[in-house]
Amino acid sequence: MIPHRVLPVLCGLGIAACASAIPLTEQVSEQQILGDDVTSVTQPSGQLSGRFLHITDFHLDTHYKSGTSVERVCHREKGTAGPLGAQGTECDAPQTLIDETFRWIETNLKGKIDFVLWTGDSARHDNDERIPRTAGEIIDLNEVLATKFIDVFEDKETPRGLSIPIIPTIGNNDIMPHNIFKEGPNRWTRRFTEVWARFIPEHQRHTFEEGGWFLAEVIPNKLAALSLNTMYFYESNSAVDGCAAKSEPGYEHMEWLRIQLELLRERDMKAILIGHVPPARAGSKRNWDESCWQKYTLFLNRFRDVVAGSVYGHMNIDHFMLQDSHDVDILAAASESESENSSSHDPEFAVQSRSTYLNSLRENWAEMPSPPAEMSSLESWSADFFDADAASEAALGKKAQRFLHKIGGPWAERYSVSLVSPSVVPNYFPTLRVIEYNTTGLEGVTLWSDSPYSDDSVESVILEDIDTDELDEEIAKKKHGKKGKNNKKKKPSFKVPNHPSPTAPPGPAYSDQTMTWLSYAQYFANLSHIYGDSSSESESEHSQQPSSTSKENANANADVSKSLDLYTVEYDTCTDKTYKLKDLTVRSYFELAKRIANKNRRKHDAILEVEEEEEEAASSESSAEDETDPLANGKKNGNRKKKHRNRVWRTFLERAFVGFLSDDELDDIIESEVPE
Ligand SMILES: *[C@@H]1O[C@H](CO)[C@@H](O)[C@H](O)[C@H]1NC(C)=O
Ligand SMILES: *[C@@H]1O[C@H](CO)[C@@H](O)[C@H](O)[C@H]1NC(C)=O
Ligand SMILES: *[C@@H]1O[C@H](CO)[C@@H](O)[C@H](O)[C@H]1NC(C)=O
């Protein structure tokens, strides 16, 4: 086994197509030991590093007390809550974990990333009726986090006082009552305008105060991050109703998004979309109102030349989703949202419902077009697939051509991808993600840190003067046109954006070019390991100490001061041999999704870890208990059906839960699948 920490180094040696993952401080010495000519770890000042941080769901809880009971959300009574958080529980994150996380970021990432995407839920959950949250506390917790970012990235020498841009977004627990967010301006948009004053560009503050969304050029004139207020799309927000009706803030938000993307297209810029609640839509899970999902999916398809990628949080499980533009029905998007079943009120979203959701995703992926036989051996599929650009398309057989047509073209243009990073709060283990992107051709661009706010004339003129003239035109047309409820020709009540110009090259989300996301390294803090390491000396102290807060904190600090390497690489797609992600383009994810969904044992990736002999006992299938709780069964039925396993699917599940689940628990999830 290659030790985790060496992976990024190998990566830097050019084993994979992507550039080297973030070189951690402790890795520098390993590089030196190896004596290899690894590219210098910090970019010369004034250059992009080609990396950014995605971090999400801190859920800081200042009531957390080490040594209390996880049954009491780590607030009181004697228990096992550790100083850095209670992994695998519903407890929120102690201040110590937040402090150490930022210390780690400062030590390992400062000067090596170009911007931060911070996707919300910084405040603790409202999960203890004895200590109800107050609006003041929620704002205070957010202020603590904002200050942490400022402390790490402050640079008084630069015009904006920060070395890199930090892009926050509002989470469903950053407001009160949670999930409920009314049309702006409201007290939350006003308060967050203040809390995030250093992060929201001056000329965007008005926009933000109105709706809670904003745009920031993270690489001036090249790349913009659009912070979406997903509270207006969120099914569980009963104060609003989707994106279909003109009176809804969600409608206005989508109009804003469309217009921004149009402007960015005109300026030949690229966009990153960030939000808290992701557009999950699989099985009974519907995070967003359907009308919002429809518009979003439509826009991502139409602006596929502009959007470089999108990141979300909220779900605390590591996964991705593909939006299928064939599921877009403009009329549905334009009409009032249908009543859909939704399970998004589920407050726990425990392993059980999470695995059900992941299974639904997999079922959806299984239904996506499969490559024809001539491309279907997965080993050769890769090669064929990646060579299948426009030039060589003619060389492919008819079936292969038909397949490419089905998926929207050689770059799988039919689809778009949303990436979800798991959380800092240790529902499993604390994590954060560093994404690499292609900066070829960006040498010598003006950096965000060198461009003062006052230099934003272009931005402000264009963005402030937009009105929705075109939109009104569209509506006028519609009024004079035919009416009739079931008229298939009915025009949608919003402007449908154009496709990219037919001569435009595929966008950065589709083919590797400048701004394309190349790989990511998922970092995690194995709290079990960290607690285990110090246990021999100090465990007894911990558990037996009377709960004197100051003493415990002293203890905690003593423990963690050693753990500069709090976070280590869980996996790095740059070197990962299971996912085999050549880059993070839609096509790469499409291919990965098909491999995860593959149930054909003869195929390369359906590794037979467990051989047939174990299958004879099989008749029992999944029992009723399996359906209700895969974890409760344990090993009690020895005659569980050991189906052939798909190694990629298993790895996907393992990573979804940040490596926290045991082999048995993973087996149980896999075996509780509905039989084909
Ligand atoms: C919605 O839920 C009801 C039961 O609550 C079920 O009978 C129905 O089939 C569901 N509809 C959809 C579209 O899932
Ligand atoms: C980055 O994009 C350029 C084109 O802009 C391409 O030639 C190059 O191969 C890409 N680099 C990486 C590391 O993928
Ligand atoms: C975390 O640490 C524990 C204890 O050292 C170890 O047993 C486990 O395998 C580790 N988990 C991961 C995902 O590395």
Quote helix, strand, coil % in the chain, to nearest 5: 40, 10, 50
In a domain, 431, yes or no: yes
* CB contact at 8 A, 525 and 570: no
In a domain, 619, yes or no: no
d(CA 226, CA 181): 19
In a domain, 539, yes or no: no
Q: Is the pLDDT of residue 225 over 50?
A: yes
Q: State whether 107 and 130 are in the same domain.
A: yes
Residue 398: what pLDDT?
Answer: 80
Ligand 3 touching residue 659 (CB < 6 A): yes
Q: State whether 309 and 388 are in the same domain.
A: yes
Residue 652: what pLDDT?
Answer: 98
Ligand 2 touching residue 481 (CB < 6 A): no
Q: Is the pLDDT of residue 438 over 90?
A: yes
Q: State whether 18 and 98 are in the same domain.
A: no
With the most atoms of ligand 2 within 8 angstroms of its CB, the residue from 439, 440, 587 to mutate is 440
Mean pLDDT of 154-173: 96
Q: Domain span at residue 27?
A: 1-42
Mean pLDDT of 66-87: 97
In a domain, 557, yes or no: no
Q: State whether 34 and 131 are in the same domain.
A: no
Q: State whether 163 and 23 are in the same domain.
A: no
d(CA 64, CA 94): 5
Mean pLDDT of 363-390: 69
Residue 373: what pLDDT?
Answer: 72
Q: At what angle do helices 586-597 and 378-387 cross, to 10 degrees?
A: 160
Query: Running DSSP on this structure, what letter comes out for residue 303?
Result: T
Residue 400: what pLDDT?
Answer: 81
Ligand 2 touching residue 514 (CB < 6 A): yes
Residue 504: what pLDDT?
Answer: 87
Contacts 24+ apart (CB under 8 A), 30-37: 30/5, 30/6, 34/9, 36/9
Query: Running DSSP on this structure, what letter comes out for residue 67?
Result: T
Q: How far is CA 609 from CA 359, 601, 613, 646, in A?
A: 20, 11, 12, 9
For 417, residues 6+ apart whose C-beta sits below 8 A from its C-beta are 309, 310, 320, 321, 322, 323, 509, 584, 586, 589
Q: State whether 307 and 403 are in the same domain.
A: yes
What confidence tens digit (pLDDT) does each residue in 516-549 have?
Answer: 999 999 999 999 999 985 444 443 344 434 333 4
For 371-516, where are the E strands, in sequence order? 415-420, 431-437
Q: Is the pLDDT of residue 483 over 90?
A: no
Q: State whether 2 and 53 are in the same domain.
A: no
- Overall pTM surpassing 0.85 (yes/no): no
Four-CA torsion 118, 60, 102, 33, nearest 10 degrees: -100
Ligand 2 touching residue 436 (CB < 6 A): no
Q: State whether 9 and 128 are in the same domain.
A: no
Ligand of minimum distance to the alpha carbon of 655: 3
What confidence tens digit (pLDDT) does each residue in 316-331 have?
Answer: 999 999 999 999 986 5
Q: Is the pLDDT of residue 101 over 70?
A: yes
Considering the chain, what percentage of its residues have pLDDT values greater than 70?
A: 69
Mean pLDDT of 287-312: 97
**Considering only CA atoms, which of 214, 406, 224 is closest in space to residue 325?**
406
Q: How far is CA 80 from CA 65, 119, 446, 534, 653, in A?
A: 10, 29, 51, 15, 27
Of all protein residues, the one whose alpha carbon is nearest to atom 2 of ligand 2 is: 513
Ligand 2 touching residue 515 (CB < 6 A): no
In a domain, 665, yes or no: no
In a domain, 646, yes or no: no
Ligand of minimum distance to the alpha carbon of 439: 2
Q: Cis bond leading into 249, ω under 30°?
A: no
d(CA 147, CA 137): 15
Q: State whether 53 and 6 are in the same domain.
A: no
Range in 527-536, 615-624, 655-664 with the lowest mean pLDDT: 615-624
Range in 27-31, 250-254, 595-599, 649-653 with the lowest mean pLDDT: 27-31
* CB contact at 8 A, 262 and 304: no
Of all protein residues, the one whose alpha carbon is nearest to atom 10 of ligand 2 is: 513
* CB contact at 8 A, 49 and 587: no
Sheet with strand 166-168: strands edge to edge:
166-168, 116-118, 51-55, 431-437, 517-524, 568-572
Ligand 3 touching residue 526 (CB < 6 A): yes
- What average pLDDT does the chain have? 80
Split at pLDDT 50, 70, 90, the class of 469 is low
Q: State whether 8 and 138 are in the same domain.
A: no
Neighbours of 8 (CB within 10 A): 24
In a domain, 75, yes or no: no
Q: Is the pLDDT of residue 176 over 90?
A: yes
- Last residue within a domain, chosen from 543, 574, 598: 598
d(CA 579, CA 592): 6
Q: How many domains does the chain have?
A: 2
Q: State whether 9 and 102 are in the same domain.
A: no
Range in 62-66, 494-498, 513-517 with the lowest mean pLDDT: 494-498
Distance 355 CA to ligand 1 centre (A): 20
Residue 672: what pLDDT?
Answer: 78
Q: State whether 381 and 264 are in the same domain.
A: yes
- Last residue within a domain, chosen from 583, 598, 613: 598
With the most atoms of ligand 2 within 8 angstroms of its CB, the residue from 442, 512, 573, 583 to mutate is 512
**Considering only CA atoms, which of 293, 298, 296 is closest in space to residue 282?**
293
Tokens of 566: 């709090």
Q: At what angle do helices 457-464 and 249-266 cross, to 10 degrees?
A: 130
In a domain, 1, yes or no: yes
Residue 553: what pLDDT?
Answer: 42
Distance 515 CA to ligand 2 centre (A): 9
**Considering only CA atoms, which of 272, 323, 344, 308 is closest in space to residue 118?**
272
* CB contact at 8 A, 420 and 517: no
**What is the DSSP annotation of 158-176?**
STTSBSS-EEE---TTSSS
Q: Is the pLDDT of residue 515 over 70?
A: yes
Residue 402: what pLDDT?
Answer: 87
Residues paired with 515 in a beta bridge: none
